[in-house]
Amino acid sequence: MEIKIVINDPKTGKSFNKSLDSEKADQLFGKKINEEFDLSFVGLDGYSGIITGGSYMTGMPMSKNLDGSGLRKVLIGKGLGNRQDIRRRKSIAGNTVGQFTSQINIKISKYGEKSLEQLFTPSNG
């Protein structure tokens, strides 16, 4: 299954998209929100990133407070998709990247030699 990753550069505020095939996505399985890891398998040598969130294949958001990788129905107050002041039961995904995770948000924590703009722009030629 293909996983989309969104890599955010806190210095410039820009975000870059990349799709990973199933072989490279296997290296992300088991990683949790707020976990730091090396991004060399994505093609970003010298870069490290922190997982800040993501979404399940049905579009449900990942929650850093819920362990596991599957969907669960939990009772939540205001926030995480609930805009009302009353508590309600919603489905949310756990904090671990699994086989049914479709998107992962990553924030750069350590920079490499080349800039992200150079690494993500296609070469002219």
Main-chain dihedrals φ then ψ at residue 116, nearest 5 degrees: -65, -35
pLDDT tens, residue by residue, 35-44: 999 998 888 8
Q: Is 71 within the bounds of a domain? A: no
Query: Are the C-beta atoms of residues 119 and 22 closer than 8 Å to each other?
Result: no
- Check: pTM over 0.85? Answer yes or no: no
Largest CA distance in the chain: 57
pLDDT tens, residue by residue, 45-100: 899 999 999 999 988 889 888 888 888 888 877 666 666 677 778 888 888 998 89
Query: Are the C-beta atoms of residues 33 and 94 closer than 8 Å to each other?
Result: no
Q: Is 91 within the bounds of a domain? A: no
Q: Is 69 within the bounds of a domain? A: no
Tally of domains within the chain? 1
Angle at Cα 57 formed by Cα 15 and Cα 108, nearest 5°? 25
Q: How many CB atoms lie within 10 A of CB 35?
A: 13
Q: Is 103 within the bounds of a domain? A: yes
Euclidean distance between CA atoms 111 and 109, whole angstroms: 7
Q: Is 29 within the bounds of a domain? A: yes
In this prediction, residues 101-123 reach a mean pLDDT of 86
pLDDT of residue 122: 63
In this prediction, residues 19-41 reach a mean pLDDT of 89
In this prediction, residues 17-34 reach a mean pLDDT of 88
The yes-or-no verdict on residue 125 having pLDDT over 60 is no
Q: Is 87 within the bounds of a domain? A: no
Q: Note down the domain range covering 33.
A: 3-63+97-119
The yes-or-no verdict on residue 123 having pLDDT over 70 is no
Q: Is 73 within the bounds of a domain? A: no
The yes-or-no verdict on residue 107 having pLDDT over 90 is yes
